[in-house]
Amino acid sequence: MGERWAGGTLAAAVSAAGGFGLIGGQDSEGGPAQEAWLREQIRLARDRTDRPFGVGFIVQFLT
């Protein structure tokens, strides 16, 4: 696995405190494990807050 930045727990805490929490949408490697990790982080954030949060993607990693 590549480097991770911000996950669902942090995003939920920021959103619950009144900010706009973001989950880092990719790591430096990508692949199927990345997709599973991202789905889990979104689930964690949804379970921990009813406030809005986002998922950020850096376009360079998507091309």
Residue 2 lies in a domain: no
How many structural domains is the chain composed of? 1
Residue 10 confidence (pLDDT) above 60: yes
Domain that includes residue 15, residue range: 8-62
Residue 28 lies in a domain: yes
Q: What is the pLDDT of residue 41?
A: 95
Q: What is the pLDDT of residue 35?
A: 86
The tens digit of pLDDT for each residue in 14-56 reads: 999 999 999 988 766 667 788 888 999 999 999 999 999 999 9
Residue 15 lies in a domain: yes
Residue 1 lies in a domain: no
| DSSP notation for the chain | -------HHHHHHHHHTTS-EEEE---SS-SHHHHHHHHHHHHHHHHH-SS-EEEE--HHHH-
Residue 37 lies in a domain: yes
Residue 25 lies in a domain: yes
Residue 39 lies in a domain: yes
- The model's pTM is 0.80
